[in-house]
Amino acid sequence: MSRRSAVGAILTATAMALAGTTAMAFTPAAASPVTPETARAAAANSAASLVAARPAYLHAGADDAFIQKNVISSEGLQYVPYERTYRGLPVVGGDFVLVTDSAGALKASSVAQDRAITGLGVLPKVNQAAAVKTAQAQLKTVTSTEASSLVVHALGASPRLAWATTVNGTGAEGVSRLTVYVDALAGTVLGTREHVTKGTGTGAINGPVTLSTTLSGSTYKLQGSSPTNMPCQDAANNTTFSKSTDTWGNGVGTSKETGCVDALFAAQTEAKMLSQWLGRNGMNGSGGAWPIRVGLNDQNAYYDGTQVQIGKNTAGAWISSMDVVGHEMGHGIDDTTPGGISNGNTQEFVADTFGAATEWFANESSSYDPPDFQVGEEINLVGSGPIRYMYNPSLAGDDNCYSSSIPGEEVHAAAGPGNHWFYLLAMGSNPTNGQPASSTCNSTTVTGVGIQNAIKIMYNAMLMKTSSSSYLKYRTWTLTSAKNLDATCALFNATKAAWNAVSVPAQTADPTCTGGSSPSPTASPAPSPTGGTGTCSGQKLLNPGFESGAVSWTQTSGVITTDSGQPARTGSYKAWLNGYGATHTDTLAQSVAIPAGCRATLTFYLHIDTAETTTTTAYDKLALTAGSTTVASYSNLNKNTGYALRTVDLSAYAGSTVALKFTGTEDASLQTSFVIDDTALTLS
C-alpha cells in the first residue's frame, strides 16, 4: 500500500490505541500452506492415536477413559487438552495436555496425575445431603448451593471417591464461590477450590478514550461487540449502563459510569493485546468474556467464573485501572486455559503478568497510566501506594525469592517470587529503558527478553497447565514453552536464568536446550551500551519490536509507526521505510555493543510490498550497514506476501560498538514499502 494514498489517515500511536485499530493479517508465503483448521485437525487425530496407545506417561488404568477438549493453537504449536474419567466419574487431577506441531508430531506432554487409579470403588458411604452440609460449613455464610456430584479426587496422596459441591457466600476473606471435595467414604474434606480470585468517554484513570459500544434502537450501551458478553454494568442491579448519547463518564473517580469507562477501556485493550500478541480470541479463547460490574462495596476486585466485580479505594474511587482490570480478566484467562485456575499459590502472579502486559500494550503517557511493573499504582487502594512491586516484591512485604514456605503463604503474598521472575524475564536485572534495577537471589545478572516475549512464554506455558499446577511445574512449563518458541535457545536460557535468579529449583522434568545461545548468564556485569565487554548471551537491541514507539532508535520521521496501511508482524508497531511512490529516503538506526569473543547474529522480519512490476530492475532499495560496510541489501525484486525472517552474521564486530542502519531509497514513481519488525541481535 502506498503511503501517499494513506496520507491524512495516518494516526498517532495514542489515537490508534484509542480507536481500537486492528492490524491486518499477513499470510507468509509457503509452498504448501497449512491452515489453522488442518493443523488443529492433525493435532487432534495424532493425540487421539497417542492416547489410544496408552503410553506409560499418562498413568492410565484399565477403568480410565479420556475426553479430548478443543485444540488450542499458538505460535504454530497445537495444545490438545484432555480430561479423564474413572468408571464414568470425572477425575479431579486426572487432566493432561499433549503438545504437537502443525503436522501432529508430539513436542511435549504435561500430565497432572502421577500414578494409575486401580481398585477404587465408586459407591459412597456418605450420602449427598451430608456432603452438602459439610461443604456449606466451609463458609461463614451461604447464599446458594450449586449441584453436587460424585468425582474421583486425585490431587491428594492417593485417589479418593468424593462429593464435589460448589457453595456461594462469604468466607474469611470475603465473597466466595467455593468447590468443596468431601470424602464419600469418610466424610472429611479432601480439598477445596476457590473460584473467586481477588485481587468516547472520560475516565478518571485513563482520561479521554474511545470505546466500542452498542447502539440498540436509539439507546447506546456500554458494551462492545467483541469480545462478546462483556458489558459494563452497575453492580447494584447488574444493569448495563445505557443512555441516548454515546458520551460517557465525567472524569470523577467516584462516579460508577466513569469507573465503567476505565474498566471497559482496559478490558477492550486487553482483548486487543491477547489477539495481537498471543493470537487468543477474547478472554475465554472463543471470542467471549464476562460482565464487568462496578459498585462492589469493598476495597477489592474479583473474578469468580461468572463476572468481574470492581470495588473502590478508601477514598471512594472505583479501582478500574488498566492493571487491575487486566489482572482480574487474567484470572479468567487462567480459568479457561487447560487445568483451570492455577494452583499451588501461583494464581495471583499469573494474573499479575496479564495486568502488566495489558498496561504495556496500552503504552499510555505519564498523564494517565504509563507502563510499569507496579500493581495498582494508580488506584491507591488503601492510601499507601501500589499493592505489589514486581521488580522488588519486598517493598510490599512479599518474598523476592522462592522457598518451601511459599505454597502455604497467603495467596497474594505468595505472588512475590513469580512476579520477580516475570520482571527479570521481561526487563532483566539492569534495564536500560528507565525501569528500575532488580536484584537477584543468586547475585547473577539477567538479561530481559521484552514484555511481549515474556507474556508469550507465560501464555504458552499456561496452555500446558494441568490442575496440579505449582511454582515448580511452572518452571518446567515455561522452559518447555520457551524452547518450543525459539530454536536458538535464547528465550530458554533467559527463562532458566530468571527462575534460577528467584531460587525456584531445577526439576527432573525440566527440558534441556542446545542451540545458538550459551548457558544462562553469570554474575559478570552486563555489557555497557557504549562498550564491547560482557557475557556472550542474551539479546542486545533495545526496543527490538518497536512496541515502545520511537524509543532507542534513530529514525526518519514516521518510520516507527502504527499506521494501519502496513500491518505489524506482532504487536502494534513496526518500522515502515518508504512507500511514498516518489523520490524519498528513510533511515532507521541503533548502535549496539558486542562483547569481545562473542558470536553475534542479527535477525529481523522483513515484508516488501511494491507496485513495481519489473522482474529485472531494482528501482527501490533497502541497505543494511554495520558501520560503513553494507552487510545486506534488498529491493523491489525481493517482494513477498508476508514477513520473511532475515539473518545477518555480525560476529566480525565483536569487541566493539557498531552502528546498525537500515537505509531505504525510493525512485520517482511506483511505491515500494520495506516493513521491518521483531528485530534481535543475539549473542552466543
Model confidence at 77: pLDDT above 60: yes
* Residues 552 and 644 occupy one common structural domain: yes
Give residue-wise pLDDT tens across range 635-649. 999 999 889 989 898
CA distance 214 to 146: 33
Selection from 441, 457, 460 nearest residue 449 by Cα: 457
Burial class (CB in 10 A: 0-12, 13-18, 19+), 156: middle
CATH code, domain with 550:
2.60.120.260
51 with 10, same domain: the answer is: no
What pLDDT band is residue 12 in, cutting at 50, 70 and 90? very low
Residues 54 and 162 in one domain: no
Residue 213 is assigned to a structural domain of this protein: no
What confidence tier does 3 reach under pLDDT thresholds 50, 70, 90? low
Range 588-597 average pLDDT: 90
Q: Within this chain, do residues 555 and 599 fall inside the same structural domain, yes or no?
A: yes
pLDDT at 9: 34
In a domain, 364, yes or no: no
Dig out the grid coordinates for 1 from the structure.
Answer: 500500500
Do 679 and 555 share a structural domain? yes
Say if 255 falls within a structural domain. Answer: no
Clarify whether residues 675 and 557 are in a common domain: yes
The CATH number linked to 156 is: 3.10.450
Residues 41 and 146 in one domain: no
- The pLDDT of residue 268 is 94
β-pairing verdict for 160-171 and 141-153? antiparallel
Please state, in angstroms and as integers, the Cα–Cα distance from residue 466 to each residue in 97, 112, 141, 192, following that order.
7, 5, 31, 16
- Report yes or no on 676 lying in a domain: yes
| pLDDT reported for residue 46 | 94
Q: According to the model, what pLDDT value does residue 465 have?
A: 97
Residue 205: which pLDDT band, with cuts at 50, 70 and 90?
confident
Q: Flag whether pLDDT at 64 surpasses 90.
A: yes
Domain end point (choices 139, 173, 194): 194
Whether residue 98 is found in the same domain as residue 135: no
Kind and range of the H or E run holding 497: helix 490-501
pLDDT tens by residue, 308-362: 999 999 999 999 999 999 999 999 999 999 999 999 999 999 999 999 999 999 9
The pLDDT > 70 percentage for the chain reads 92
Task: Take residue 552 and report the three cell numbers written for it.
Answer: 532507542
Of the residues 137, 168, 194, the one at which a domain ends: 194
482 inside domain: no
Last residue of a domain, one of 143, 160, 194: 194
The answer to whether the beta carbons of residues 670 and 619 sit under 8 Å apart is yes
Domain span at 162: 128-194
User: Residue 450: inside a domain, yes or no?
Assistant: no
Q: Is the peptide bond before 338 cis (omega within 30 degrees of 0)?
A: no
Q: How many domains is the chain built from? A: 3
Same domain, 153 and 99: no
Is 95 contained in some domain?
Answer: yes
Please, which pLDDT band fits residue 2 given cuts at 50, 70 and 90?
low
Q: Are residues 55 and 10 in the same domain?
A: no
List alpha helices for 96-187, DSSP H. Answer: 128-136
Residues 6+ apart with CB under 8 A from 492: 479, 482, 483, 486, 511, 513, 515, 517
The mean pLDDT value for 203-224 works out to 85
Q: Is residue 479 part of a domain?
A: no
Identify residue 648 by its one-letter amino acid code: V
Range 176-187 average pLDDT: 95
User: Could you give the CA distance from residue 4 to residue 675 in angstroms, rounded to a whole number?
Assistant: 16
- Both 160 and 94 in one domain: the answer is no
Per-residue pLDDT at 26? 36
**Could you tell me if 96 and 173 lie in one domain?**
no
Q: What's the confidence (pLDDT) of residue 570?
A: 87
Grade residue 532 by pLDDT with cuts at 50, 70 and 90.
Answer: very low
Residue 641 is classified by DSSP as S
Distances in whole angstroms, Cα of residue 491 to Cα of each of 78, 258, 545, 601: 19, 41, 15, 15
Q: Is pLDDT of 18 > 50?
A: no
**pTM score, whole prediction:** 0.69
Average pLDDT over residues 205-214: 84
For 115-125, what is each residue's pLDDT tens digit? 999 999 999 99
> What are the cell numbers at 110?
504435561
Query: Is residue 135 predicted with pLDDT exceeding 60?
Result: yes
